[in-house]
Amino acid sequence: MKLTTLTLTLAATVFAAVALAHSGATGVVKERMDAMDAMGHAIKRVAPMFQGELGYDADAVREAAETFRSHAGEAMTRLFPKGSNGKPSEAMDTIWRNWDEFAALAERLGTYAEGLSLAAGNGLVESGGMDAGALMGGGFMTSGETMMGGAAMMGAGSGMAGMMVGHEPMMGVEHLAEMPANVVFEMVSQTCTACHTRFRADK
Amino acid sequence: MGLAIRAGAAVIAAAAAGLAAISAWPVGKAAKPITVAGDVNRGAYLARASGCIACHTNFDEDIAPLAGGVALETPFGTLYSPNITPDPLHGIGRWSIEDFARAVRQGVSPDGEPYYPTFTYPFYGNFTDQEIADLWAAFQTVNPVAEPDRPRDMPFPFNQRWTLKPWRLAFLDAPRTDPAEDAEPLWNRGRELVEGAAHCGACHTGRNILGGRDHDNQHFRGNRDLPGGNKSPAIDTETLEMRGWTVANLAYSLKTGLKPDGDAFGGGMGEIVLQGTRFLSDQDRRAIAIYLLDAHGAEAAKPKAETRKR
């Protein structure tokens, strides 16, 4: 009897903890959390294909790309009215101090998502990074690796600021459409990471 | 009364003498001349892997690459990463390669002063002369920036550099990068990166109240008290496996920032990926993942207690 009560209490506590992350959110905060969740589900569905753990499915990748696109750009930024943070939101004040940068990342997500949709049919191209000759980032250039040359990497010439995802010049959709799907997916993912790094509080 | 004053004076004199002794106590060893030629590309690669760019570049304020100025709010006060561009006045332009070697491997400045361990030199101690020469060659390609270092803001006694001397004696261990004879080459490469250049333990290993890493109890168990009030999760094998990490998705996360649950890193780890690990080879990212996810190998390669202290 006592054990049952204890088990129930424990179960309730666990439920509460799980629900806590996105609970208590209302209005735009809830809306944007739901949008992030939707994108997270899409990532979870297709990421294993790019990790070689699941067979490649171009339709599933197009579907995921459409999910990202529908939550990018304006659809994203309109959910971040000034000052709409504080508990339970994880949004940082830096969003409104650097609004142009935030908006540019949201825009970039949309462009890359469109590119991914068009590139989905190109399939995967092995980057061939398993031999020593590829140590310096051989294989296909991704957004990050176009500047792998040592000097540029250290910040000479064009400058390191250009290396930060979000600052580097954005590739056009037509260009992205020609690239292997895995490379464009990496660019989408790195855009998520860049935005979280700049604008989401560390949990 | 007179006796008390004399006793007090004696105590003060003894303390002053002790302090003078500690201040004069030399740290580190003289660096032997480095004569090998460096390779810029290899050096830039190692600089990425080691986090030089991430920590010495203030992206928030858009200050030039490697010109420093990133604040680290530690429990002991706030420090700012210094300018390590080749500027002769504000950077390392007047250093010799041997000065550089001593700074990176031993954490000792050209003047013989110990650096605060916010600079992760404790992980770089096993860099070879070749690696130092490569890094040095790469740093020569950086644009010099005349950006003065920001003074650290630390309360007494932590603002006293001599306090680092006993700290070094107590907590400065050799990096655990030594290869295990019976391990796969990729596992050994992962060990070299994880325990060395990539310095994962700096954030993912808990520290004692004096800021020394607690290898025995806290190795890769996460840290809830990181600079700036941040937290890092545990990355020991059991925890990683429990949270759905595999070699494939962990290696991939170091390139993209994606986590197994569909989320993407933010904070410090996002920065590590964007400024560091996404530039590594697929093979090196895989090596890191293999090492982290193979506890058995780690057990086999555990260094003997008596060889660990330096």
pLDDT at B2: 66
- Closest among A88, A179, A195 to A127, alpha carbons compared: A179
Q: Which residues contact B126 (CB under 8 A, 6 or more apart)?
A: B105, B174, B175, B177, B178, B196
Out of A43, A51, A137, name the one closest to residue B279 (CB). A137
Q: Which residues contact B142 (CB under 8 A, 6 or more apart)?
A: A154, A155, A156, B65, B66, B85, B86
- Segment B54-80 mean pLDDT: 92
Question: Across the strands, what pairs with B78?
Answer: B73, B153
> CB of A29 within 8 A of CB of A83?
no
- Segment B164-178 mean pLDDT: 92
Residue percentage of chain B with pLDDT more than 70: 91
A70-84, B15-29, B119-133, B168-182: segment of lowest average pLDDT? B15-29
Confidence of residue B25 (pLDDT cuts 50, 70, 90): confident
- Segment A43-48 mean pLDDT: 98
pLDDT at B128: 97
Please judge whether A47 and B40 are an interchain contact, meaning their C-beta atoms are less than 8 angstroms apart.
Answer: no
pLDDT surpassing 70 at residue A137: no
From the CA of A100, how many Å to the nearest CA of chain B? Answer: 14
pLDDT at B71: 93
pLDDT at B295: 67
Count of Cβ atoms closer than 10 Å to residue A100 Cβ: 7
Confidence of residue B20 (pLDDT cuts 50, 70, 90): confident
The tens digit of pLDDT for each residue in B219-270 reads: 999 998 888 888 999 999 999 999 999 999 999 999 999 999 999 999 999 9
pLDDT surpassing 50 at residue A139: no
Confidence of residue A146 (pLDDT cuts 50, 70, 90): very low
pLDDT at A25: 82
> CB of A69 within 8 A of CB of A114?
yes
Please judge whether B279 and A164 are an interchain contact, meaning their C-beta atoms are less than 8 angstroms apart.
Answer: no
Interface of A with B in 47-66 (CB under 8 A): 47-48, 50-53
Out of A53, A149, A189, name the one closest to residue B264 (CB). A189
Confidence of residue A127 (pLDDT cuts 50, 70, 90): low
Which ipTM value was assigned to this complex? 0.87
Which one of B9-13, B166-170, B236-240 scores highest in mean pLDDT? Answer: B236-240
Confidence of residue B302 (pLDDT cuts 50, 70, 90): low
Confidence of residue B216 (pLDDT cuts 50, 70, 90): confident
A163 near B CB under 8 A? yes
Confidence of residue A12 (pLDDT cuts 50, 70, 90): low
Confidence of residue A129 (pLDDT cuts 50, 70, 90): very low
Count of Cβ atoms closer than 10 Å to residue B131 Cβ: 23
Confidence of residue B10 (pLDDT cuts 50, 70, 90): low
- Segment B138-148 mean pLDDT: 96
B/e letters for B188-217, b = 16+ CB within 10 Å, e = fewer, are bbbbbbbbbbbbbbbbbbbbeeeebbebee
Residue percentage of chain A with pLDDT more than 90: 63
pLDDT surpassing 80 at residue A150: no
> CB of B72 within 8 A of CB of B227?
yes
Count of Cβ atoms closer than 10 Å to residue A41 Cβ: 13
Confidence of residue A19 (pLDDT cuts 50, 70, 90): very low
pLDDT at B130: 98
Closest chain A residue to B257, measured at CA? A193
Spatial separation of the C-alpha atoms in residues A156 and A150, rounded to whole Å: 9
Spatial separation of the C-alpha atoms in residues A196 and B235, rounded to whole Å: 20
pLDDT at A195: 97
Which of B40, B63, B135, B141 best tests the A interface by mutation, with the highest count of A CBs <10 A?
Answer: B141
pLDDT surpassing 50 at residue A161: no
Count of Cβ atoms closer than 10 Å to residue B119 Cβ: 18
A182-186, A197-201, B148-152, B305-309: segment of lowest average pLDDT? B305-309
In chain B, residues with a C-beta closer than 8 Å to the C-beta of A161 are 59, 62, 64-65
- Closest among B36, B147, B56, B55 to B97, alpha carbons compared: B36
pLDDT surpassing 60 at residue A16: no
Question: Across the strands, what pairs with B108?
Answer: B114
Out of A52, A151, A202, name the one closest to residue B268 (CB). A202
Interface of A with B in 164-203 (CB under 8 A): 164-165, 185-186, 189-190, 192-194, 196-197, 199-203
pLDDT at A135: 32
Please judge whether A155 and B266 are an interchain contact, meaning their C-beta atoms are less than 8 angstroms apart.
Answer: no
From the CA of B225, how many Å to the nearest CA of chain A? Answer: 12
DSSP letters of B186-239? Answer: HHHHHHHIIIIIT-THHHHS-B-TTS-B-HHHHTTS-EEEEGGGEEE---SHHH
In chain A, residues with a C-beta closer than 8 Å to the C-beta of B47 are 153-154
Confidence of residue A142 (pLDDT cuts 50, 70, 90): very low
- Segment A38-48 mean pLDDT: 98
Q: What is the average pLDDT value for chain A, to the nearest integer?
A: 79
> CB of B208 within 8 A of CB of B214?
yes
- Segment B108-134 mean pLDDT: 97
pLDDT surpassing 60 at residue B298: no
pLDDT at A159: 34
Amino acid of residue A142? T
Spatial separation of the C-alpha atoms in residues B299 and B282, rounded to whole Å: 25
> CB of A180 within 8 A of CB of A125?
yes
- Closest among A84, A36, A45 to A195, alpha carbons compared: A36
